[in-house]
Amino acid sequence: MPMFSVSGTDNSIQSHSTDAEFRYFVEKFDDIQILKYQVRDFDQLTLRQKTLIYYLSEAALSGRDILWDQNFRFNLRIRKMLEAIISSYKGDRETADYKSFITYSKKVFFANGIHHHYSNDKLIPGFPESYLTELIMGSDPSLFPLGKNETPGNLVDIMKPVLFNPSVFARKIESRHGADIISESATNLYENVTQKEAEEFYAGKTDLNDPHHVSLGLNSKLLKRNGKVIEEVYRSGGLYGKAIDSIIFWLEKAISVAETEMQKNGFRLLIEYYRSGDLKKWDEYNVVWAKDTDIEVDYNNGFIESYGDPLGMKATWESIVNFKDSEGTRRTEIITAFAQWFEDHSPIDQKYKKGKVKGIAAKVINIAMLGGDCYPAAPLGINLPNADWIRKEVGSKSVTLANIARAYDEVSKSTGFLDEFAADQVEAERSRKFSCIASLLHTDLHECVGHGSGKLAEGTDPNSLKNYASTLEEARADLFALYFMMDEKMLELSLLPDKDAARAEYDSFVRNGLLTQLVRIKPGKDIEEAHMRDRAMISHWVYEKGKTGNVIEIFKKESKTFVRINDYVKLQELFGQLLKEVQRIKSEGDFEAGRRLVETYGVKVDPELHKELLDRYEKLNLAPYSGFVNPKLLPVKDNQGEIIDVKVLYTDDYLAQMMEYGSDYSFLLCVTL
Ligand code: ZN
C-alpha cells in the first residue's frame, strides 16, 4: 500500500509510486517465508548519517560467524561445506535430491545452524545419506573445511551422523523435565560440562547485595579443560577475537561520524568492552546508550539476549542498525502533543481522569540492517538494555520497527487470508487499502496515550487485580485506541486519511477478537495470553451488548462463519462504555468485577467454531515463520576514497545473500588445523 504523506493540516494523500511498486515477498520454502524490508526515507538522511549507518551495518554483519558457532560447534564447518557444494558441485542440479539439498541449505542458513530457530529441533535433510557423499565427492575439494591430513572422504564420515542421525545433537536446547539441560543441549555456550558443574561454577559469584551487579556469564563460553571448568571470554584476542576485531574496526570508523558526543562516548565504551570482555564496561556502555536519545541513527550491537542459554545467563550475539521513521515520529509527536486533549475527551468517569497527563513518545524506527540473532528472523519491537538496575535507574529505549511491520502487513494482503475471513469484498478491499496506517495508529494511541491515561482512586492497591491485571491493562489501552480511532479529531489532525481507515480497524479488531486469533490456539485449549484475552474480551462484550441493535452480526455462508459490523457509530459508543468500566475496575481495584469480565468474555473457546477456523486456516497453507533479506548498502567514493554517498540496493535472491555473507564476513576458523 502506498505511503501517506500528509502535508500540514490538509488531508491530501499522495502515494509514492516507488513504494507501491516495492515487492515485499521474496520466497517461501518449507515452513518459512522470506520477505524484504524497505529502507524508507534513507535518501532524506545527511551524508554523515548515511555513512554512520554504513559503518554500523558493516559492524552488524561482522559478527555473523559468532552466532553460528555459539549455536552449535559444528555449525561453521557445516556452513562452509554447504557453501562449497553450492558454489562448485559439478553434478546434475536439476534432480529432486539436489533441490532437496538446496531447501535444506536454505533452512540451515535461516536458522544460523542446523537446529530450527524456533523449535530447537535438529533439521533433518530430506535427501538420502548416500547423496551427501555424491555431493561432496562431486565438488571442488579445495573449498572444503578440512583439518590436517583430512580428505573429503573423512568429511563425509564426520558429517553423516551429525546431519542425519536424529538422536545425535538432537536439540539445541533440551528442556525436557529430568534432562540435564546443559550436557543434553547442543548449544555451544557450554562444552563438556554438566548442568551441575555449570551451576556450581556460577553459584555465589553474583553479589546480590550489590545493586549494580554485572550480568554474570553473559559473554563467555563455559567448558572443561584438563578436568577443570573454565570460562573463555568473548573478546579481542580471546574467543571469537577475529570477528570481534572486525566489529571494533567498524565501530572506530563510526566514532568519526557520530551524531552526538554521547554517541561517540558509547562507541568508545563498547570498543573497550570488546577489547577487555569486562562486563562492568558493558554496563557502563549500556547506561550511556540508554541515555542517548537525541539522535536519528541508533543501533544495538553485542551479546544481548539470553533465550539461547538453557540457564538464561549467556547471550548470543546480535545487532541491528536503525534510524527514526519520520512519518511514525510525526504521528507520535502529534499524539503526545494532544495527550491532554485525549484525557479530557475520554469517556471515563471524571474522577478517574488525570488532571495533567504526559504522553510517552514511543520511538518508531526503520531498520537499515539486521545482524546476528536478528537475522533473518527479525524482532517486531525492541526494549533494551536488559539489566534491571539500568532499566530502573536510567531507563530503557522502547522502539517499534515500522518498516518490518509494514512488510508483514503488505505481504499478508496477498496470502488469501483476507479473502477467506473478511465478510465481503468491500471489507477486504477497505482493509487492503487502510489496514497498514490504521493499525499503526492503533498501536501509537495504545502506547503513547492509552496506557498512560487515567488514575487510581485514593488508597487503591495497584496490585489488586493480580492475575487479571495485564489483560485488563491491555484492554484499557486497546479500548482507548479504538474509541478515539473513530473520532473526527483523527482526520482533523491528519492522523488518518479517511473515516474508512477507522472502519477498517474496527473490522479487523472484531474479526480477530471473535474469530481469527483462535488459529493460534491449539484444539481444546483456553485463551491464555494477555493480549489475546484482551481482544477476545472486548470483542465478545461489544458483540453481546450490541445484540439488540444488531451492531455486530455473526453469520454463516456456505457453512463458514463470518463477522460483520452494521453500526460503527454505535460500536464506538460501546467501546467507550467498556473503557469506562475497565477504568473504574482499575481505579477502584475491583478484582471481582475484573475477574468476571475476563472469565466471561476473554477465556473460553467455542470448540466447533475453533475447529472450523483451524481447518480454513490450514487450507491457506501459510508459512508460520518469516525472515528477511537485508538490503545492500553500497558506499560511493570519490577519487580520494572519501565516501560521498551511500546507496541502498535490494535483492530478491536469498541464497545469493547467504553465499555473499559467507564469503565476505567469514572471520572465524571452523576447524582446528
Ligand atoms: Zn500494551
Q: What pLDDT, in 10s, does the model give residues 543-598?
A: 999 999 999 999 999 999 999 999 999 999 999 999 999 999 999 999 999 999 99
Q: What angle do CA 279, 182, 173 make, to 5 degrees?
A: 95
Write the pLDDT tens digit of every residue in 452-499: 899 999 999 888 999 999 999 999 999 999 999 999 999 999 999 999
What separation in Å is there between the alpha carbon of 468 and the centre of ligand 1? 14
In a domain, 88, yes or no: no
What separation in Å is there between the alpha carbon of 345 and the centre of ligand 1? 21
What separation in Å is there between the alpha carbon of 544 and the centre of ligand 1? 24
Dihedral angle over CA of 242, 244, 245, 248, nearest 10: 170
What separation in Å is there between the alpha carbon of 477 and the centre of ligand 1? 6
Asked whether 198 and 190 are in contact (CB, 8 A), the reply is yes
**Higher-pLDDT residue of 362, 80:** 80
What separation in Å is there between the alpha carbon of 519 and the centre of ligand 1? 22
Asked whether 368 and 378 are in contact (CB, 8 A), the reply is no
- What is the Cα–Cα distance from 3 to 14, expressed in whole angstroms? 7
In a domain, 204, yes or no: no
What separation in Å is there between the alpha carbon of 134 and the centre of ligand 1? 54
What separation in Å is there between the alpha carbon of 475 and the centre of ligand 1? 8
Q: For the sheet with 25-29, list strands across it.
A: 25-29, 32-36, 625-629
What separation in Å is there between the alpha carbon of 471 and the centre of ligand 1? 9
List the domain range (segments joined by +) for residue 436. 416-625
- What is the Cα–Cα distance from 352 to 584, expressed in whole angstroms? 8
Residue 548 CA from chain centroid, whole number: 42
What separation in Å is there between the alpha carbon of 453 and the centre of ligand 1? 12
DSSP H/E element including 345 = helix 339-345
Q: Residue 75: pLDDT band by 50, 70, 90 thresholds?
A: very high
What separation in Å is there between the alpha carbon of 640 and the centre of ligand 1? 51
What separation in Å is there between the alpha carbon of 79 and the centre of ligand 1? 40
Q: What angle do CA 383, 385, 388 make, to 5 degrees?
A: 105
Total Cβ atoms within 10 A of residue 519: 17
Q: Residue 206: pLDDT band by 50, 70, 90 thresholds?
A: confident
What separation in Å is there between the alpha carbon of 407 and the centre of ligand 1? 22
- What is the Cα–Cα distance from 474 to 534, expressed in whole angstroms? 6
Residue 355 has pLDDT above 90, yes or no: no
In a domain, 273, yes or no: no
What separation in Å is there between the alpha carbon of 596 and the centre of ligand 1? 21
- What is the Cα–Cα distance from 62 to 75, expressed in whole angstroms? 17
What separation in Å is there between the alpha carbon of 460 and the centre of ligand 1? 21
Q: Residue 672: pLDDT band by 50, 70, 90 thresholds?
A: low
- Of 56, 61, 36, 236, which Cα lies nearest the Cα of 664? 61
What separation in Å is there between the alpha carbon of 478 and the centre of ligand 1? 8
Instruction: Return the pLDDT at 356.
Output: 86
**Higher-pLDDT residue of 105, 624:** 105
What separation in Å is there between the alpha carbon of 26 and the centre of ligand 1? 31
Domain count across the chain: 1
What separation in Å is there between the alpha carbon of 39 and the centre of ligand 1? 26
What separation in Å is there between the alpha carbon of 114 and the centre of ligand 1? 35
What separation in Å is there between the alpha carbon of 447 and the centre of ligand 1? 6
Asked whether 241 and 312 are in contact (CB, 8 A), the reply is no
Asked whether 16 and 38 are in contact (CB, 8 A), the reply is no
What separation in Å is there between the alpha carbon of 581 and the centre of ligand 1? 18
Looking at residues 180-197, what average pLDDT do you find?
Answer: 96
Only one residue has cell 488531508, namely 11
Coil/strand/helix, residue 177: coil
In a domain, 595, yes or no: yes
- What is the Cα–Cα distance from 12 to 8, expressed in whole angstroms? 9
Coil/strand/helix, residue 458: coil
Write the pLDDT tens digit of every residue in 27-37: 999 999 999 99
In a domain, 256, yes or no: no
- What is the Cα–Cα distance from 320 to 299, expressed in whole angstroms? 5
User: What letter would DSSP give residue 178?
Assistant: T
What separation in Å is there between the alpha carbon of 368 and the centre of ligand 1? 26
What separation in Å is there between the alpha carbon of 421 and the centre of ligand 1? 26
What separation in Å is there between the alpha carbon of 19 and the centre of ligand 1? 29
What separation in Å is there between the alpha carbon of 476 and the centre of ligand 1? 9
Q: Which residues contact 577 (CB under 8 A, 6 or more apart)?
A: 347, 545
Residue 222 has pLDDT above 70, yes or no: yes
What separation in Å is there between the alpha carbon of 446 and the centre of ligand 1? 6
What separation in Å is there between the alpha carbon of 570 and the centre of ligand 1? 25
In a domain, 655, yes or no: no
What separation in Å is there between the alpha carbon of 509 and the centre of ligand 1? 15
Single-letter amino acid, residue 281: K
Instruction: Return the pLDDT at 361.
Output: 65
Residue 4 has pLDDT above 60, yes or no: no
Between strands 190-191 and 220-225, the pairing is parallel
In this structure, the chain runs to a length of 673
- What is the Cα–Cα distance from 437 to 415, expressed in whole angstroms? 19
Instruction: Return the pLDDT at 19.
Output: 62
What separation in Å is there between the alpha carbon of 440 and the centre of ligand 1? 13
Instruction: Return the pLDDT at 1.
Output: 28
In a domain, 603, yes or no: yes
- What is the Cα–Cα distance from 590 to 582, expressed in whole angstroms? 10
What separation in Å is there between the alpha carbon of 474 and the centre of ligand 1? 5
Single-letter amino acid, residue 204: G
Instruction: Return the pLDDT at 3.
Output: 31
Residue 280 has pLDDT above 50, yes or no: yes
Q: Which residues contact 71 (CB under 8 A, 6 or more apart)?
A: 111, 112, 113, 115, 172, 187, 188, 308, 316
- What is the Cα–Cα distance from 551 to 236, expressed in whole angstroms? 64
**Higher-pLDDT residue of 5, 308:** 308
DSSP H/E element including 608 = helix 607-619
What separation in Å is there between the alpha carbon of 559 and the centre of ligand 1? 35
Instruction: Return the pLDDT at 13.
Output: 31
Please return the burial class of 155, using the count of CB atoms within 10 Å of its CB with bins 0-12, 13-18 and 19+. buried
In a domain, 432, yes or no: yes
Asked whether 113 and 89 are in contact (CB, 8 A), the reply is no
Write the pLDDT tens digit of every residue in 319-340: 999 999 988 988 988 999 999 9
Q: Residue 383: pLDDT band by 50, 70, 90 thresholds?
A: confident
Least confident of 74-88, 206-220, 485-499: 206-220
Least confident of 297-301, 384-388, 425-429, 480-484: 384-388
Dihedral angle over CA of 70, 73, 75, 80, nearest 10: 120
